[in-house]
Amino acid sequence: NNSDGVFSGGKLVFSTGAAGSASASTSKLQITSDGRGLSNFTAKAWVRFNGQSTPSIQGSHNVSSITDNGTGLYTVNYSNNMTGTNYTVTTTQENYSWDTVVKVTQPADVLAGSCKLAGVRVVNNNYEDSRVICMAVFGGQ
């Protein structure tokens, strides 16, 4: 057998390795006691929220809250911190303005416990609240 599913320390760990060599196995997927799936191919966090007025979460995984930092400016706070800042943030949005984009405000704003986002109009570089903002995080187990 070259794969194992072992329950250990409050999580289920799936590993792969050479047949008959448990010591050479490598963890590929962990399912934690709180239901998170940790691997290189699962989202570490995701959220969909309304960014107008007071931000409200419509659906999420590993996101505890959204902080409103002003018009078009948000901080997405994680329930469980990332292990560092080497992770990828993907965003999309829906708004009344066709030319609004949501992006990480700057590389330094990708933190272990949160990420700062900005809704910006391309045509004039002004900040704007968006009706729907979606964000997914990969990496940074």
Q: Decide: helix, strand or coil at residue 114.
A: strand
Residues 113, 79: Cα–Cα separation, whole Å: 8
Q: Dmax over Cα atoms in the chain, in whole Å? A: 62
* Confidence band of 114 (pLDDT split at 50, 70, 90): very high
**E strands in 9-113:** 11-16, 26-32, 37-38, 45-50, 56-61, 63-68, 73-78, 87-94, 100-104
* Confidence band of 1 (pLDDT split at 50, 70, 90): very low
Nearest to 130 by CA among 61, 46, 45, 48: 48
Residue 48, classified by CB atoms within 10 Å of its CB into exposed (0-12), middle (13-18) or buried (19+), is: middle
For residue 86, the Cα-to-chain-centroid distance in whole angstroms is 12
Of the chain, the percentage scoring pLDDT greater than 70 comes to 81
- Ranked by mean pLDDT, the top range of 13-17, 30-34, 100-104 is 100-104
The residue with greater pLDDT, 32 or 128, is 128
Range 81-98 burial, b when 16+ CB lie within 10 A, else e: ebeeeebebebebebeee
33-85 confidence digits (pLDDT tens): 777 766 666 788 999 999 998 999 999 999 999 999 999 999 999 999 998 88
Residues 129, 105: Cα–Cα separation, whole Å: 14
Residue 92 has pLDDT above 70, yes or no: yes
